[in-house]
Chains A and B, each alone.
Chain A
Amino acid sequence: MSLQDECRAAMHACWSCKGPVLAAELFCPTCKAIQPPGQVDHFARMGVDACYDLDGVKLDRRYFDLQRLLHPDRFAAGTPRERALSQQQAASLNDAYETLKDPLERADYLVHLLGAGVLPEGCDMINDPVILMEAMELREHLADADTPKEIDAIATETRRDMDDCVEELKTAFTDDDLKTACRLTTRLKYLTKLSDETRVRRSLVAPHS
């Protein structure tokens, strides 16, 4: 591909004024028309660095700032095309925000982003006997718990394990230790699932308290 072709590929004509627009630009620099969402990863879309240790407050702020520009309510008086584009933009933004906000989904996403081709089985591999054993034990534990107090204790413990897991993930990603990151992501998946089940069981044991 020649340099000129590459430039051409990184650019498209604005649907409204037909002028040149860079691929990931939100609005046409000339006529200010909203553009379709570009093919960028979630971190780039949110305008934050692609790292695991994200500043949640900053992420929120970024999200609000961008929604303020892109949300369909801003285009209530616009043409059908503008409204459709704004909906696509806002949906892409929501997808990015939801993924990055959640520690588990963020880990999962980042592993795939960094390890594409390296670890094709991603984070769903159940090949770590230690994690598998832990998951089974925790599940048995929960099945045996009958009183709200016992279940609450498991919930607290799970919560703490999840927090620890997230801290370890931060280190693993900082150290570029993809293998450990994968293992921890798998563990976090189990813990999250357990936490959900704990909640369900808690509501069944004492629905009105």
Chain B
Amino acid sequence: MEDLLIQIHEPGETPEPHEHDERLAVGIDLGTTNSVVAVSRKNAPEVLRDPDGKGLIPSVVAYAADGSAVVGGMAKQLLLSRPEGVVSSIKRLMGRGVEDVKGLKGTLPYDVDTADAADGGMVRLNVAGRRLTPVEISADILRALKERAEEMLDRDVDKAVVTVPAYFDDAARLATKDAAKLAGLEVLRLVNEPTAAALAYGLDKEVEGLYAVYDLGGGTFDISLLRMEKGVFQVLATGGDAALGGDDFDHALAEHFLAERARDLGETEISTAEAKQALMTARIAKENLTKRDHGEWVVEANGEQSLHKCDRATFEDLIRPFVRRTIVLCKGVISDAGVTNDEIHGIVLVGGSTRVPLVRTMVGEVFGRKPLADINPDEVVAVGAALQAEALTSGSDTLLLDVTPLSLGIETMGGLVEKIIPRNTPIPVAKAQEFTTFKDGQSAMAVHVLQGEREMVDQNRSLARFELHGIPSTTAGGARIRVTFQVDADGLLTVSAAEDTTGIEQEVEVKPSYGLSEDEMSKMLYDSLKYAKDDMTLRLLTEARVEARRVFNAVAAALEADRDLLNGNEQVEILRAMDKLDAAISGEDRDVINASVETLDVTTQTFAQRRMDRGINAALEGHSVDEFEGPERATCLTKDVTEEE
């Protein structure tokens, strides 16, 4: 039985390497235009490619009348023949409400369902006779990525690190996580795209210093300032625009073509389908103009073709306002971080849109040095995500310390916003705010949570509203309600509340302004055919095993330390309960595992009591009480840290 007692692990390490390596997780870059899945094993990341060697999967989904979905290159081709059933650039709508999209209507090729506009909430699209949320559409893309990974790796894949723009707000992050859940993927961590890119460049190993990551994708722009030091990535400041990217270049060029048509043909209107085709043409033109100086393209609408000439200078004039906006944001972030240009050691370029020569020139000018672009800018984020996935499953010395991209606040009197967690605060973070009643006998209070940098409520994004009930009846200002805002390492917010004078804790039901409700989510999960019941059972079993192994190891460690507190019979009894638990863990029955944990818990109760008594007696004998308090702790802590080094 001795050999039962040797499995003791350092904190954070996964205790059980299973016979089939359950710990594999992939890295996914869920992009506006293209998505990529990669895996890293033994610190060697590789992009998972199709048999033709293509790593990029276009983030385009085509829906058939029967509801089946096709994702990727095939769907992209259908964009021209059956545009009404095809969705592209869905990432731009993640976590967005109907109100947000109204302003974009006409410029974005989506058929937005406005029937429910009055309820607010998450936007829905009409696609091939169905009403779909961006979460469901993104889930279809993620499913395709999961399938590709499973095919290439020849095994099940159910864990992933998924990247999001650093500038994504809470609603968009939550939507991304929900989409992964719907696709049957457990998200180990949402990682910011710029951070992933820096990881891929191995900046953590190479050099210490300050780096800027300029990420211009199809629909989003991020600029992050990172400090590397001995394997730690510390994000100092981040900024960007969740609706600025290469798509805007396409739009500008398409509008230029359409303006020429209006001038020459007197055309005033085109259909949504024709708009999609014009955008496709513009995208091709943009890509050509990256390599060549000029070219000619054909646009067709209302049964009439037109030929459009464009040279690079004209194209650059069209897109300059967008690039200039990225430069302004870069300067803002540098100033936020309180650093100067000279202190920045390098700039990393990420995103397909950084191939555009004007972007490279202007970025080079503002930072005063040539940017790094050795790794394929389309794949670099997925590579970084894969490295982080490996770090999370197999352990690593690298550490990512991220920040909140946008300030979190609450609505106060007069429609003003009071900031509670300012932007660029390191996460995870927990901040409490005290509220009080303003009327005698007030028993409820409404709280409105907002995200953004502006002073007025209506200029920021509404994240959630909730009401606190059961406030003890007292005079105005008498009750003290502490509301705690927590942002986890994924950048997701949770809220809890407690009344301080009575100590009543309250669960707060937060209604996300643009998210899916619990009901909607469970219905979608239920409807999702690929999310079989077996998966759920297996997941619960895995969780029970992890918890049981934790209990087993804890008792083993306790026995190793304090075995002499037990007589022979007592030892045998505990070892027997451990044996039973060990056997249960190897079995397939979750209830048996949980029952065995319970039994072991009861069996060790006396043991636990004696250990506590011994600890207290040791403290009484050997030390003075002062050692446990005050400044001495600093010394204790110092010792702990050095021991770990």
Give A residues with C-beta under 8 Å from B. Answer: 3-4, 6-8, 10-11, 13-14, 16-20, 22-27, 30-34, 38, 40, 43-45, 47-50, 60, 62, 64-69, 71-80, 82, 86-88, 90-92, 94-95, 97-98, 199, 203, 207-208
**Does A7 contact B555, Cβ atoms closer than 8 Å?**
no
B230 to chain A, nearest CB (A): 7
Check A32/B620 contact, CB under 8 A, given A13-B608, A43-B634, A48-B634: no
Scoring A11, A88, A97 by chain B CB atoms within 10 A of each residue's CB, the highest score goes to: A11
CB contacts (< 8 Å) of A22 on chain B: these are 628, 636
Instruction: Give the contacting residue for B429; candidates A73, A95, A207; CB below 8 A.
Output: A95
- The yes or no answer to B288 lying at the interface (CB within 8 A) is no
A sample of 14 inter-chain contacts (CB < 8 A) reads A3-B625, A17-B608, A18-B604, A18-B611, A24-B637, A25-B636, A30-B557, A44-B634, A73-B189, A75-B11, A87-B489, A91-B429, A94-B428, A95-B430
* Chain B interface extent, by class: 35 or more
**Does B616 contact A4, Cβ atoms closer than 8 Å?**
yes
Q: Provide the main secondary structure of the chain B interface.
A: helix
**Does B633 contact A20, Cβ atoms closer than 8 Å?**
no
Q: Which residue of A lies closest to B25 (CB)?
A: A76
User: Whole-angstrom distance between the alpha carbons of A10 and B632 in the complex?
Assistant: 13
Check A7/B608 contact, CB under 8 A, given A33-B554, A91-B486: no
What are the 6 tightest A-B residue pairs by CB atom distance, in nearest-first order?
A20-B615, A18-B608, A10-B628, A74-B12, A17-B554, A31-B557
Scoring A33, A44, A97, A203 by chain B CB atoms within 10 A of each residue's CB, the highest score goes to: A44
B336 to chain A, nearest CB (A): 9
CB contacts (< 8 Å) of B607 on chain A: these are 18
**Does A7 contact B628, Cβ atoms closer than 8 Å?**
yes
A45 to chain B, nearest CB (A): 8
CB contacts (< 8 Å) of A77 on chain B: these are 12-14, 23, 392-393, 546
Q: Which residues from 42 to 71 on chain B have a C-beta closer than 8 Å to any C-beta of chain A?
A: none
**Does B615 contact A66, Cβ atoms closer than 8 Å?**
no
User: Whole-angstrom distance between the alpha carbons of A208 and B393 in the complex?
Assistant: 45
Instruction: Give the contacting residue for B391; candidates A18, A38, A44, A73; CB below 8 A.
Output: A73
CB contacts (< 8 Å) of A47 on chain B: these are 634, 637-638, 641
Instruction: Give the contacting residue for B489; candidates A13, A45, A90, A92; CB below 8 A.
Output: A90
**Does B634 contact A66, Cβ atoms closer than 8 Å?**
no
Scoring B189, B425, B625 by chain A CB atoms within 10 A of each residue's CB, the highest score goes to: B625
Check A16/B489 contact, CB under 8 A, given A10-B619, A32-B9, A73-B400: no
User: Whole-angstrom distance between the alpha carbons of A32 and B550 in the complex?
Assistant: 11
User: Whole-angstrom distance between the alpha carbons of A48 and B641 in the complex?
Assistant: 12
User: Whole-angstrom distance between the alpha carbons of A44 and B631 in the complex?
Assistant: 7
Q: Which residue of B lies closest to A43 (CB)?
A: B634
CB contacts (< 8 Å) of A26 on chain B: these are 637, 640
User: Whole-angstrom distance between the alpha carbons of A47 and B237 in the complex?
Assistant: 26
Binary A-proximity of B412-427 (CB < 8 A = 1, otherwise 0)? 0000000000000111
11 other A-B residue contacts (CB within 8 Å) besides A7-B620, A34-B12, A50-B631: A7-B628, A10-B625, A18-B558, A18-B611, A22-B636, A26-B640, A68-B397, A72-B489, A94-B425, A98-B425, A203-B332
**Does A76 contact B392, Cβ atoms closer than 8 Å?**
yes
**Does B324 contact A208, Cβ atoms closer than 8 Å?**
yes
Check A69/B562 contact, CB under 8 A, given A3-B625, A23-B628: no
**Does A68 contact B392, Cβ atoms closer than 8 Å?**
no
**Does B631 contact A19, Cβ atoms closer than 8 Å?**
no
**Does B615 contact A69, Cβ atoms closer than 8 Å?**
no
Q: Which residues from 426 to 470 on chain B have a C-beta closer than 8 Å to any C-beta of chain A?
A: 426-431
Scoring B543, B554, B644 by chain A CB atoms within 10 A of each residue's CB, the highest score goes to: B554
Q: Which residue of A lies closest to B430 (CB)?
A: A91
**Does B232 contact A68, Cβ atoms closer than 8 Å?**
yes
CB contacts (< 8 Å) of B644 on chain A: these are 65, 68-69
Instruction: Give the contacting residue for B637; candidates A44, A67, A94; CB below 8 A.
Output: A44
User: Whole-angstrom distance between the alpha carbons of A89 and B265 in the complex?
Assistant: 66
- The yes or no answer to B229 lying at the interface (CB within 8 A) is yes
User: Whole-angstrom distance between the alpha carbons of A199 and B23 in the complex?
Assistant: 48
- The yes or no answer to B401 lying at the interface (CB within 8 A) is yes
**Does A65 contact B426, Cβ atoms closer than 8 Å?**
no
Binary A-proximity of B215-245 (CB < 8 A = 1, otherwise 0)? 0000000000000011010100000000000
Instruction: Give the contacting residue for A19; candidates B391, B427, B561; CB below 8 A.
Output: B561
Check A32/B10 contact, CB under 8 A, given A67-B232, A91-B429, A94-B426: yes
Instruction: Give the contacting residue for B561; candidates A24, A30, A33, A43; CB below 8 A.
Output: A30
User: Whole-angstrom distance between the alpha carbons of A80 and B550 in the complex?
Assistant: 11
Instruction: Give the contacting residue for B619; candidates A7, A27, A72, A75; CB below 8 A.
Output: A7
CB contacts (< 8 Å) of B551 on chain A: these are 16
Check A64/B634 contact, CB under 8 A, given A13-B612, A76-B393: no
CB contacts (< 8 Å) of A10 on chain B: these are 619, 625, 628-629
User: Whole-angstrom distance between the alpha carbons of A44 and B9 in the complex?
Assistant: 27
Instruction: Give the contacting residue for A20; candidates B611, B636, B640, B641; CB below 8 A.
Output: B611
**Does A18 contact B612, Cβ atoms closer than 8 Å?**
yes
B311 to chain A, nearest CB (A): 25
Instruction: Give the contacting residue for A67; candidates B10, B335, B399, B616; CB below 8 A.
Output: B399
CB contacts (< 8 Å) of A64 on chain B: these are 229-230, 232, 234, 399
A54 to chain B, nearest CB (A): 13
A85 to chain B, nearest CB (A): 10
Instruction: Give the contacting residue for B335; candidates A78, A86, A199; CB below 8 A.
Output: A199
- The yes or no answer to B339 lying at the interface (CB within 8 A) is no
A149 to chain B, nearest CB (A): 18
A152 to chain B, nearest CB (A): 13
Q: Which residue of A lies closest to B487 (CB)?
A: A91
B626 to chain A, nearest CB (A): 10
Instruction: Give the contacting residue for A98; candidates B12, B426, B550; CB below 8 A.
Output: B426
User: Whole-angstrom distance between the alpha carbons of A75 and B624 in the complex?
Assistant: 35
User: Whole-angstrom distance between the alpha carbons of A90 and B12 in the complex?
Assistant: 14
User: Whole-angstrom distance between the alpha carbons of A69 and B427 in the complex?
Assistant: 15
CB contacts (< 8 Å) of A43 on chain B: these are 634
A3 to chain B, nearest CB (A): 6
Q: Which residues from 249 to 293 on chain B have a C-beta closer than 8 Å to any C-beta of chain A?
A: none
**Does B335 contact A40, Cβ atoms closer than 8 Å?**
no
Scoring A13, A75, A77 by chain B CB atoms within 10 A of each residue's CB, the highest score goes to: A77
**Does A76 contact B189, Cβ atoms closer than 8 Å?**
yes
**Does A73 contact B489, Cβ atoms closer than 8 Å?**
yes
**Does A40 contact B633, Cβ atoms closer than 8 Å?**
yes
Check A19/B608 contact, CB under 8 A, given A30-B557, A44-B633, A73-B399: yes
User: Whole-angstrom distance between the alpha carbons of A82 and B553 in the complex?
Assistant: 14
User: Whole-angstrom distance between the alpha carbons of A64 and B188 in the complex?
Assistant: 22
**Does B637 contact A69, Cβ atoms closer than 8 Å?**
no
- The yes or no answer to B328 lying at the interface (CB within 8 A) is yes
Check A65/B641 contact, CB under 8 A, given A20-B616, A94-B425: yes
Scoring B11, B14, B23, B430 by chain A CB atoms within 10 A of each residue's CB, the highest score goes to: B11
